[in-house]
Amino acid sequence: MVRARARIPVTGAPTEEVPPPFAHNAEYEFARILDFYGIDWQYEPRTFPLRYDRGHVTEAFSPDFYLPDLSLYVELTTLKPNLTAEKNRKMRLLKELYPGVNIIMLKKRDYLRLLAKYGYGPLSPGQVPDIDRVLITASKLQQRIGQLGAQISRDYAGKEPVLVGVLRGVLCFMADLMRHISVPSTIDLMAISSYEGNGSAAVRILKDLDENIKGQDVLLVEDIVDTGMTLNHIIDYLNTKRPASIKVCTLLDKRARRIVNVPLDYVAFEVPDEFVVGYGLDFQQRFRNLPFIAVLKHELLP
C-alpha cells in the first residue's frame, strides 16, 4: 500500500520513466493529479476475489486506486476496446459480489471532471494548465485558520476587537477566520488602489471604513504581505483615526520580498518568493475562486 500527499507538479503527461509502484504512465499521471489536488490515495490496496473453485480463488480483481476521502475505488481504462470488455465484465462481477463497494472506471479525460464533482474545487480543466502546483491545500488552510482563531480569541479575551479587512484578496480568509473568533467582535472593510504603473502617484482609498475606530482594538486582516508597502500605508492611515491598538493578522507572509519591515502579530503561513493565487488571491482578477493556494506558472507572469 502506498500513500502520498500533494507535492508534485502535474502538467502534461509525465515523460520520465514510470516509477514504482505504478504499472502504467496513466496510473502515475493519475496519482500526480491526485497529489495536485491534495487528495489522499492508496495504490492497489485490496484484491477482491471474484470466483472460487473448491475453496481456491480462481479469479480476482485489484482496482488501481482507493481514495479514502471519497470512499471510492478507481480503475483506469486506457486499454484497447477488446481488453476494456474484459475489464467491464470483472467490474460487473465485483459490483454484484460486493454491493457496498463504490467503484468507478475512469477514462483519462474524465479525471478532472471527477475531482471537481467530488467537491475538490470549481477548478475547470481550462484553468489547470495555468497552475504549477498546489502550495496549501483547502484542509490545511482550514486547520491553521482554526488555530489562529483560537489564539486570537485567547489574546482578545475581555475585549471586543474590530476586524478590518482590505478588499478584495482577503475575502475568503476573513470569512473563515471570523467564524473561529469566539470573543464578541465586529467587522469593517476597506479598499485601496494598488500600484499599476499607470502614472497614479499614491495609494488611494477606494472604500473607507464605515465605522469609527477611535478607541477600538483593531485587528487588521490581510491576505498577503509581500514588500510590506501596502500594509505600512494602511497602518499609518488607521493610526490617524486613533484606535486603542492595532495588530496585524495575515494569511500569507512572503518574507523574502519584504521592503518595509512591518511587525506581523499573526501569520497563518509563510510562502516562498513565488506568485500565488487562489482562496481570494488573484492574477489579473482570475483564480480567486480556487479553494486552495497555488503557485502560478512562471511563464504567465509579466
Binding site for ligand IMP (CB under 6 A): 169, 223-231, 254, 275-277, 281
The x, y and z cell numbers of residue 292, run together, are 486552495
Q: What contacts 70, CB < 8 A, 6 or more positions away?
A: 39, 102, 118
72: closest CA among 97, 40, 25? 40
Closest separation in Å from C-beta 296 to ligand IMP: 8
User: Nearer to ligand IMP by C-beta: 118 or 275?
Assistant: 275
* Rounded-to-integer distance, Cα 39 and Cα 65, Å: 12
User: Which of 64, 223, 226, 253 is the catalytic position?
Assistant: 226
In angstroms and rounded to an integer, the radius of gyration of the C-alpha atoms of the chain is 25
Q: Which is nearer to ligand IMP, 115 or 218 (CB)?
A: 218
Walk across the sheet containing 276-277 and list its strands: 131-136, 293-296, 276-277
Whichever of 74 and 281 has its CB closer to ligand IMP, that residue is 281
Q: Which amino acid is at 147?
A: Q
Cβ-based nearer residue to ligand IMP, 78 or 227:
227
Residue found under cell 475606530: 213
Measured N-to-C along each axis, helices 138-155 and 171-178 cross at an angle, to the nearest 10 degrees, of 50
Looking at the Cβ atoms of 63 and 169, the one nearer to ligand IMP is 169
Q: Which helix (H) or strand (E) holds 268?
A: strand 266-270
- Told to judge if 226 belongs to the known catalytic residues of this protein, a careful annotator would answer yes
Element at 42 (helix H, strand E): strand 41-43
Adjacent-strand bridge partners of 14:
none
Residue 296 CA from chain centroid, whole number: 13
Cα first-last separation, the chain: 43
* Residue 200 identity (one-letter amino acid): S
Which three cell numbers mark 20? 514504482
**Closest among 220, 206, 207 to 262, alpha carbons compared:** 220
The smaller minimum CB distance to ligand IMP, of residues 216 and 230, is found at 230
Q: Which residues carry out catalysis?
A: 226
